[in-house]
Chain A
Amino acid sequence: MSQFKQLFLMHLKMTFREKQAWFWGLFFPVILMVIFMFIFADSSDEDFEASVAVVEESPNEISTAISDQMEIIPTLVVEHELDDRSEAEELVEDQEVAAAVVLPESEDESSILLIVNTEDEQSTSTQVVSGVLNNIVQQMNLQVVGATETYALDFETISSSEHELSYQDFLLTGLIALAVAQGGLFGMVDLVDMRRKGLIKRLRMTPVNMSLFGFSDMIMRLLFSIIQIIVLALIGVLLFNATLHINLLGLVVLFIVGALSFNAIGYFISSFSKTTEAYMGVANIFSFLMMFLSGVFFPIDMMPEWLHPVAHVLPLTYFAEGLRDTMVYSIGIESSTIWFYMGVMALWGVVAYIIGSWLYRRKSIVATR
């Protein structure tokens, strides 16, 4: 027990004192998340708003009716109420507002003028503003002829469970999966370094229990990954309004299978890498491949069709999907999908471990005596 404690402390101290571990394990994924959240999460925000200027040169019954209507629509924010059109044009020109709406000058006039900057002609806000105005105009037309609506559009969303997946949730879970995967993938570089320095050989000259050595290393890595998950999840929830509904048991089981599998892949890479540089090279290739092809930053459906088979082979795809199921949809181990995900990852892990230890033994890097 004291041996385990000492070995665990050794792994802990070495990780704790290694600045690289902190950078790549925590700082880097956090930065990545913040950047991607700012770039992508903002534009897909549900609380879309467009600021407009309303020009009411001579107030009349119709113009007040329209401006009242506009006030109630949440997507339109009336920032300026003016009585001069040229002033509004200036604001549009400087892109102070998304659009200017010129209301009818008298009850007899029947057109509403929408002024937008040419640059913004195709933008979302222009489309939203014109859509909203169109709606108002149509309502008024109907009122004028005294007709009631025959057809109405009903809107409803459907998702696989009671919880909706926003981009924040998608990115957060994807990045957690990526961080844990990279921890395993890159972490085994220590093994190459220790071998190169003769430390493995040194340890084998003592009565140390080498399986305890490996086991304590694993426990330390799992703990580090738990810290990664907690830190990333907290930032995602507190700063970017991600909503999580966690199935704890499902998450824990999936996490352990995933983390062990990626560690096994790292172990496999270490078995044929003579230097740390060689190790990092291989791990980077694998990491980049997974980063962009496993649905971490954007859904796999957005990728070209011919890339889909690749995505469906990579273990990170299943880890990310599994984390989404257990952290956002609250799906647990009762679901066969989760077991399928874990099965694919475990297959990767077991195969990598078997080939890795076979290579180790064959090259007698760590001779078993």
Chain B
Amino acid sequence: MHVLEVNHLKKSFGAVQAVKDVSFQVEQGEVFTIIGPNGAGKTTTLEMIEGLVPPNQGEIQFGNLNWKKNSDDIKKIIGVQPQLSAMFDLLTPSEHLQLFASFYDKSRHEDEILKMVNLTEHKDKQVRNLSGGQRQRLAIGMAMVGDAEMIFLDEPTTGLDPQARRNLWDIILRLKALDKTIILTTHYMDEAEQLSDRVCIVDQGEVITIDRPDALIKKLTVEREVRLAFLEHEEAAINSEKVLNALSVVSHVERDLTELKIWTEDPEYTLLELFNFTNKKDYQVDQISIREMSLEDVFIAFTGKEWRD
């Protein structure tokens, strides 16, 4: 049984088709990430699921519940961190959590949440005096306070410094450990790769593909890029290039002085052949690296676009 099922969502704002066709299912306890460039329709999709924007077409089911019949019940099981961290400037984190806790039948204790989002120290500061990262963490705390089964995080790390981003990743992983279902949007590839069980790539209002991050990468792993550099003069590189070009698994080689970039379908075999040759000639290899494919490459491969932050 899927905890969330979305079928053929469509939404237009005037002449702009923000969401053209989005469908997916989310399983209990997974981190499901929607990635895509700005304007891909991530936030609109999320807002439709959260019940803020009615879709023009399509269905949204939370198990047996839907917005038309069970809006009150759905609000009890979801926790939302909106993109704009909407808070009361004059209230403290502690007061926010108490207020929001009172909206739910069952709620988590304020102290527990504060600890989880690392705000215990700042719990009595008015929100207007908090930093961006602290506000963002409070927003996530507010999404958790009702002990929601499903938590929606809309670009939780946008605009944060690297340290604050890492902190948020920890929080998200802690939520996952509590067996919460997390639906996340981001436009950071590394984030999606680190956190998600499954990734849904969205572009121009349509789902391009949905899969586990490593599976997505594997799908593309036809060719890998190997880099290596020699200690000797160019001669070693020039001779090696000739050997490599003779191999059938190597599609092409680029040389820059003593450095080589090799594109190959089988890095292991290619390197084995190369080392046999360098061993014979007694060439000294200085550096070697095999570039990992990233979700960024996946994205570029699927959408045919350069990644833009």
Which residue numbers of A lie inside 8 Å of B, CB to CB?
2-3, 5-7, 9-10, 13-14, 17-18, 197-199, 201-202, 204-208, 367, 369
Are A7 and B99 also in contact (CB < 8 A) when A17-B126, A369-B67 are? Answer: yes
Across the interface, name the chain A residue whose C-beta is closest to B76: A207
Contact A5–B102 (Cβ < 8 Å): yes
Q: Which chain B residues lie closer than 8 Å to A202 at the CB level?
A: 80, 82, 86-87
Q: Nearest Cβ in chain A — how far from B98, in angstroms?
A: 6
Q: Is the interface of B mostly helix, strand, loop or mixed?
A: loop
Q: Choose among A18, A201, A205, A208 the residue that contacts B78 (Cβ–Cβ < 8 A).
A: A205
Q: Nearest Cβ in chain A — how far from B4, in angstroms?
A: 15
Contact B103–A3 (Cβ < 8 Å): yes
The bracket for how many chain B residues form the interface is 20 to 34
Q: Choose among A9, A13, A17, A201 the residue that contacts B86 (Cβ–Cβ < 8 A).
A: A201
- CB of B24 within 8 A of chain A? no
CA distance A356 to B50 in the complex (A): 27
Contact A206–B75 (Cβ < 8 Å): yes
Q: Nearest Cβ in chain A — how far from B47, in angstroms?
A: 9
Q: Considering the complex, which residues of chain B in the window 130-158 have a beta carbon less than 8 Å from any beta carbon of chain A?
A: 146
CA distance A13 to B126 in the complex (A): 11
Q: Which chain A residues lie closer than 8 Å to B75 at the CB level?
A: 205-207
User: Which of B71, B80, B87, B103 is packed against the most chain A CB atoms within 10 Å?
Assistant: B103
Q: Nearest Cβ in chain B — how far from A140, in angstroms?
A: 75
- CB of B91 within 8 A of chain A? yes
Contact B67–A18 (Cβ < 8 Å): no
Q: Choose among A2, A10, A205, A206 the residue that contacts B95 (Cβ–Cβ < 8 A).
A: A10
Q: Considering the complex, which residues of chain B in the window 166-198 have a beta carbon less than 8 Å from any beta carbon of chain A?
A: none
Q: Which chain A residues lie closer than 8 Å to B71 at the CB level?
A: 369
Which residue numbers of B lie inside 8 Å of A, CB to CB?
50-52, 54, 67, 71-72, 75-76, 78, 80, 82, 84, 86-88, 90-91, 95, 98-104, 126, 146
User: Which of A14, A206, A208 is packed against the most chain B CB atoms within 10 Å?
Assistant: A206
Contact A205–B80 (Cβ < 8 Å): yes
Are A6 and B86 also in contact (CB < 8 A) when A205-B50, A205-B78, A206-B75 are? Answer: no
CA distance A206 to B72 in the complex (A): 9
Q: Which chain A residues lie closer than 8 Å to B103 at the CB level?
A: 3, 206-208
Q: Nearest Cβ in chain B — how far from A206, in angstroms?
A: 5
CA distance A369 to B95 in the complex (A): 28
25 residue pairs of the A-B complex, CB under 8 angstroms, read A5-B102, A10-B99, A13-B95, A14-B90, A17-B126, A197-B86, A197-B87, A198-B82, A198-B84, A198-B86, A199-B86, A201-B52, A201-B86, A202-B82, A202-B86, A205-B52, A205-B75, A205-B78, A206-B104, A207-B75, A207-B146, A208-B103, A367-B52, A369-B51, A369-B67
CA distance A197 to B91 in the complex (A): 14
Given contacts A14-B91, A198-B82, 11 further A-B contacts (CB under 8 A): A2-B102, A6-B101, A9-B95, A197-B84, A199-B87, A202-B86, A205-B52, A206-B146, A207-B75, A207-B104, A369-B51
CA distance A197 to B76 in the complex (A): 23
Contact A13–B102 (Cβ < 8 Å): no
Contact B88–A14 (Cβ < 8 Å): yes
Q: Which chain B residues lie closer than 8 Å to A13 at the CB level?
A: 90-91, 95
Chain A to chain B: the 6 pairs with minimum beta-carbon distance, closest first:
A198-B86, A6-B102, A202-B86, A207-B75, A208-B103, A17-B90
